Amino acid sequence: MAQVAESGLARDERLARVGLAARLFQRPEIGSMVGVVAVFFLFLWAAGAKFAELDGFALWTDEASNVGIMAVPVALLMIAGEFDLSAGVMTGSAGLLFAYLVTRPDLNVWPAILLVLLFGLTIGFINGMLVMKTRLPSFIVTLGTFFSLAGLNAGLTRRATGSVYIPDVDTASGFRSAHRFLGSTFTTYAFPDRVIWWIVITVVATWVLARTRFGNWIFAVGGDATAARNVGVPVLRTKIALFMTTSTMASLLGIMIALQIRSAQADQGIGNEFVYIIAAVVGGCLLTGGYGSAVGASIGALIMGMITVGIPFAGWNSDYQRLFLGVILLLAVMLNTLIRWAAARSRA
Amino acid sequence: MTEHEQVEWEAIEEDETGLSRRELFVKGGLLTAGAAFLGSPVAAARAAAKSPAAAEASSTFAVVTHGAGDAFWAVVKKGVLKAGKDLGVKVNYSESFNNPQKQAQLIGTAVARKPGGLVVSAPNPSALKDPLRRARRAGVPIITINSGVQAFKSLGAITHVGQTETIAGRGAGQKLKAAGGKKLLVIIHEQGNIGLEQRYSGAKSGFGGKTSRLQVKGVSDISTTTNQIKTKLRADRSIDAILALNPQVGVAAKDAAASANSKAKIATFDLSSDVIKAIQRGQMLFAVDQQQFEQGYLPIVFLYLYRYNLNTVGGGQPVLTGPGYVEKGNASKVAAYARRGTR
Residue type, A65: S
The more confident residue out of B136 and A57 is B136
Collapse the DSSP code of B268 into the 3-class scheme (helix H, G, I; strand E, B; otherwise coil) and give the result: strand
Q: Which of A170, A166, A130, A173 is nearest to A148 (CA)?
A: A130
Q: Judging by beta carbons within 10 Å of its beta carbon (0-12, 13-18, 19+), is residue A269 exposed, middle or buried?
A: buried
The DSSP 8-state label assigned to residue B28 in this structure reads G
pTM assigned to the model? 0.79
pLDDT digits (tens, 9 = 90+) for B4-58: 433 333 333 333 334 444 444 444 333 333 434 443 444 433 433 344 333 434 4
Is there a contact between A262 and B104 if contact means CB atoms under 8 Å apart?
no
Partners of B244 in the β-ladder = B187, B268
Is there a contact between A169 and B104 if contact means CB atoms under 8 Å apart?
no
Is there a contact between A59 and B105 if contact means CB atoms under 8 Å apart?
yes
Residues of A in contact with B190 (CB under 8 A): 267
Is there a contact between B126 and A170 if contact means CB atoms under 8 Å apart?
yes
> How close A190 comes to chain B (CA, Å)?
9
What does the alpha-carbon distance between residue A220 and residue A226 come to, in Å, rounded to a whole number? 9
Mutate to test the interface with B, among A261, A267, A309 (most CBs of B within 10 A): A261
pLDDT digits (tens, 9 = 90+) for A295-332: 999 999 999 999 888 887 887 876 777 888 888 888 88
Task: Output the pLDDT for position A230.
Answer: 93
Residues of A in contact with B129 (CB under 8 A): 170, 262
Task: Output the pLDDT for position B66.
Answer: 92
Strands (DSSP E) contained in A226-271 are: 264-265
**A-B interface: how many C-beta pairs under 8 angstroms?**
82
Task: Output the pLDDT for position A19.
Answer: 73
Please, what is the average pLDDT of chain A? 88
Torsion-angle region of B43 (φ positive above 0: left; ψ -120 to 50: alpha; else: beta): alpha
Nearest to B194 among A63, A165, A318 (CB): A165
For chain B, which residues lie within 8 Å of any Cβ of chain A, measuring from their own Cβ? 69, 92, 94-95, 98-101, 104-106, 108-110, 112-113, 124-127, 129-130, 134, 190-194, 196-197, 215
What does the alpha-carbon distance between residue B203 and residue A133 come to, in Å, rounded to a whole number? 49
Residues of B in contact with A318 (CB under 8 A): 94-95
Nearest to A56 among B112, B125, B197 (CB): B112
Max Cα separation, chain B? Answer: 77
Which letter, b or e, does each residue of A166-180 get, where b requires 16 or more Cβ atoms within 10 Å of its Cβ?
A: bbebbebeebeebbe
Task: Output the pLDDT for position A10.
Answer: 59
Max Cα separation, chain A? Answer: 78
Cis peptide before B299 (omega within 30 of 0): no
CA atoms within 13 A on the CB side of A307: 24
Nearest to A315 among B92, B108, B125 (CB): B92
Residues of B in contact with A275 (CB under 8 A): none
Instruction: Tell me phi and psi for residue B88, to 5 degrees.
Output: 70, 35
pLDDT digits (tens, 9 = 90+) for B49-102: 344 333 434 479 999 999 887 778 989 999 999 999 999 999 999 999 888 999
Q: Judging by beta carbons within 10 Å of its beta carbon (0-12, 13-18, 19+), is residue B198 exposed, middle or buried?
A: buried
Task: Output the pLDDT for position B55.
Answer: 40
Q: Which of A65, A116, A127 is nearest to A258 (CA)?
A: A116
pLDDT digits (tens, 9 = 90+) for B182-241: 999 999 998 777 889 899 999 999 999 899 999 998 887 888 899 889 989 988 999 999
Is there a contact between B127 and A309 if contact means CB atoms under 8 Å apart?
no
- Flag whether pLDDT at B2 surpasses 50: no
Task: Output the pLDDT for position A100.
Answer: 95
With CA atoms as reference, the chain B residue closest to A313 would be: B109
With CA atoms as reference, the chain A residue closest to B123 would be: A165
Would you write out chain A's pLDDT as a tens digit for each of its 348 residues?
A: 444 444 445 567 677 666 777 777 778 888 888 889 999 999 999 888 888 888 788 888 988 999 999 999 999 999 999 999 999 999 999 999 999 999 989 899 999 999 999 999 999 999 999 999 999 999 999 999 999 999 999 889 888 887 778 888 888 999 999 988 888 877 666 678 899 999 999 999 999 999 999 999 999 999 999 999 999 999 999 999 999 999 999 999 999 999 988 889 888 888 899 999 999 999 989 888 999 999 999 999 999 999 888 887 887 876 777 888 888 888 888 888 887 787 777 665
Instruction: Inform me whether the C-beta atom of residue A190 falls under 8 Å from chain B C-beta atoms.
Output: yes
pLDDT digits (tens, 9 = 90+) for B295-307: 999 999 999 999 9
Contacts of A59 (CB under 8 A, 6+ apart): A190, A309, A313, B105, B108, B109, B112
Instruction: Tell me phi and psi for residue A79, to 5 degrees.
Output: -60, -35
Instruction: Inform me whether the C-beta atom of residue A169 falls under 8 Å from chain B C-beta atoms.
Output: yes
Collapse the DSSP code of A109 into the 3-class scheme (helix H, G, I; strand E, B; otherwise coil) and give the result: helix
Task: Output the pLDDT for position B21.
Answer: 41
What does the alpha-carbon distance between residue B331 and residue B279 come to, in Å, rounded to a whole number? 7
Residues of B in contact with A262 (CB under 8 A): 126-127, 129-130
Instruction: Inform me whether the C-beta atom of residue A271 falls under 8 Å from chain B C-beta atoms.
Output: no
